[in-house]
Amino acid sequence: MARFAAFKFALTSLLFAVALAGPAPVQAKGPQERPVDGSPATIRVPELPRQGRETYELIRQGGPFPYDKDGSVFGNRERQLPAARRGYWREYTVATPGSRDRGARRIVCGGPARMPDTCYYTADHYSSFRKIVE
């Protein structure tokens, strides 16, 4: 009985200490995070979802695009992408299976329409971006 009481006391003390310390900091390991050096994360074309690869190919062909807003100017108001003149960035919808609207996935490209200088993929409606690399 004394052994059980000692075990119960030790366990209670441990739980109390953990509760006082608070949760341990957790470092995100998701695909949307930026590397430690602050440069944007990257994604290779084959790693894009199938719909993303299709949209990327349509961008390189110059369309036609399935959504009216595809090719519209992206304002970069959140300043997640490198600064550029107004009209440099354009956004394109990446279809989301099961979504009733355009969904949250986009590709945003900068530069000439058919051969953009650079493109970024976002799966969370502009909260984070990954630079698309060949």
Task: Please give the average per-residue pLDDT across 63-69, as a whole number.
Answer: 94
Q: What six digits make up the tokens of 109?
A: 């490209």
d(CA 52, CA 37): 27
The pTM assigned to this predicted structure is 0.70
Q: Which of 33, 57, 125, 134 is catalytic?
A: 125
86 has pLDDT over 60: yes
Fold category of 31-133 in CATH: Nuclear Transport Factor 2; Chain: A, (3.10.450)
pLDDT band at 3, cuts 50/70/90? low
Q: Which pLDDT value is given to residue 134?
A: 86
Q: Which of 54, 57, 91, 134 is catalytic?
A: 91
Q: Which pLDDT value is given to residue 28?
A: 38
30 has pLDDT over 50: no
d(CA 97, CA 4): 55
Q: Which pLDDT value is given to residue 91?
A: 97
Is 125 among the residues known to form the active site? yes
Q: Which pLDDT value is given to residue 120?
A: 98
**For the chain, how far is it from start to end, CA to CA, in angstroms?**
67
Q: What six digits make up the tokens of 36?
A: 């430690």
Q: How do the domains of the chain map onto residue ranges? A: 31-133
